[in-house]
Amino acid sequence: MAREQSPPRRGLSADELVLDALLRDAPIGVVVLDRDLRIERLSRVAESDGPLTQDDAGRQVFEAWRGIPDDVVLALRRVACGRASQVEMRSESPDWRADRMLISAVTDANGAVERVVWMWSDAMPAGLLNGNRGRRFRSP
């Protein structure tokens, strides 16, 4: 089944065009956050997996998704404040169905955190996730 291609947004830099293409076509969940953990962008998979949508851009991830697992919150904060440059984990929350998760800092030339990239994947096809119709997270 072919996916509908959305036209590129006008006035974007080459880097932004690459990021848009990656987020559109990535087979994993990706959320790009600023250092205050406000949502900047998310992949189509991230949007289909849980309660976040493109309309949440500019909101803190905890405000947009009130049911985010506590261990994920702690890991996001550790990376955002610079205590860890990367965290690989699997959440212990029963609401989290992803097999692997990576939270990584994007830093400036001086090593200060500019963005946090949160990625996850699942070893099982989305349709087999406990009859949850492809959604990996429960809405609160």
pLDDT tens digits for 77-91? Answer: 999 999 999 999 988
Contact assessment for residue 123 and residue 85, using Cβ atoms and an 8 Å cutoff: no
The pair of three-digit structure tokens given for residue 102, joined into one six-digit string:
């990576």
The fourth-level CATH superfamily of domain 27-124 is PAS domain (3.30.450.20)
pLDDT of 23 reads 85
Each domain of the chain, given as residue ranges in start order, spans: 27-124
92 compared with 116, residue with greater pLDDT: 116
* C-alpha distances out from residue 49 to 6, 10, 98, 109, Å: 20, 28, 9, 33
Predicted TM-score (pTM) of this structure: 0.76
Q: Is residue 50 packed enough to be buried (19+ CB in 10 Å), middle (13-18) or exposed (0-12)?
A: buried
CA 75, distance to chain mean position in Å, is 13
Question: pLDDT tens digits for 115-131?
Answer: 999 998 875 344 333 33
Interacting residues of 48 by C-beta distance below 8 A, sequence separation 6+: 126, 134, 135
The pair of three-digit structure tokens given for residue 45, joined into one six-digit string:
């998979």
